Structure 1
Amino acid sequence: MKYPDDDIGNVFRRMEESNFDFSKEHVVDFYAVFATEKEADSVARMFLADKTRYENIETRPYDEGGMELEISKKMLVTYDSVLELQELLAERVALVRGYLDGWGVMQE
């Protein structure tokens, strides 16, 4: 497939090259880092309030200081589905002091 020339598109090209199975659902993990636990918890509560089912919503200390938020969702791994959740996380992170720290999916 042809993917946009951006970070997500680059990951998808590498996944395709490694024969990732795009035909079935996988748990995709999205990460953000915050200066304080209060900020991380604030964004986590926004996801808890969603009507969407997430596999995991967890905050924990970040190795380099601050707090990390992990949002995990089982879904078909498409460029659009990853972009959509990443953009939602970015919107919510922008409300406090934080930054996106990537996403990932395990190839089975």
Structure 2
Amino acid sequence: MTRDFDQFPDDENGNVLWQMAEDGDDLTEAHEIEFSIAFQTEEQAQKCALYLLKEEQKISLFEDEEADTVEWIITIYVYMEPEYSDIVDLEEWFTKIATQYGGEYDGWGCMAYVYEDEDWENEVKS
């Protein structure tokens, strides 16, 4: 498969989406994409979480005790087709919100949905 740089631009997001496509992930199917915002204090994270809930976002909030310093992480779950321009738009929005509440946007990720034909046939037969 040849990379279409209009669909998969040569930047971090384009590279991740291209790798997903190369790995056989069907990018025309909706995925639950997780966007993260990190905060130094629980109070900042709670204020941001409340704002996101009022914006009807599905979120989780937890304390990351494994980080070098204590951090509070908000994960925003967006069910969507992983399309480059939509991801960029959401990153810009979450970056603005993070800044507004004293946090830092920390990226996105999602589970890959890759089925080998043989695996699919076995799963269907089960």
TM over 0.5: yes
Supply the RMSD in Å over aligned alpha carbons.
1.4
Q: CA deviation at 1:67?
A: 0.3
Identity %: 28
Q: Which has the larger radius of gyration?
A: 2
Query: Alignment length, in residue pairs?
Result: 105
| Residue of 49, 56, 59 corresponding to 1:57 | 59
1:78-89 aligned at under 5 Å gives the runs 78-89=83-94
Amino acid at match of 1:37: E
5 Å matches for 1:1-108? Answer: 1-2=4-5, 3-50=8-55, 52=56, 54=57, 56-62=58-64, 63-64=66-67, 65-108=70-113
| Structure 2 stretches lacking a partner, 5+ long | 114-126
| Matched residue type, 2:59 | I
Q: Report the secondary structure of 1:59's partner residue.
A: strand
Per-residue deviation at 1:5? 2.1
1:75 shift after superposition: 0.7
Structure with higher strand content? 1
SS in 1 for 2:100: coil
Q: Structure 1 unaligned segments of length 5 or more: list them.
A: none
Question: Moved runs in structure 1, 4+ residues, more than 4 A?
Answer: none
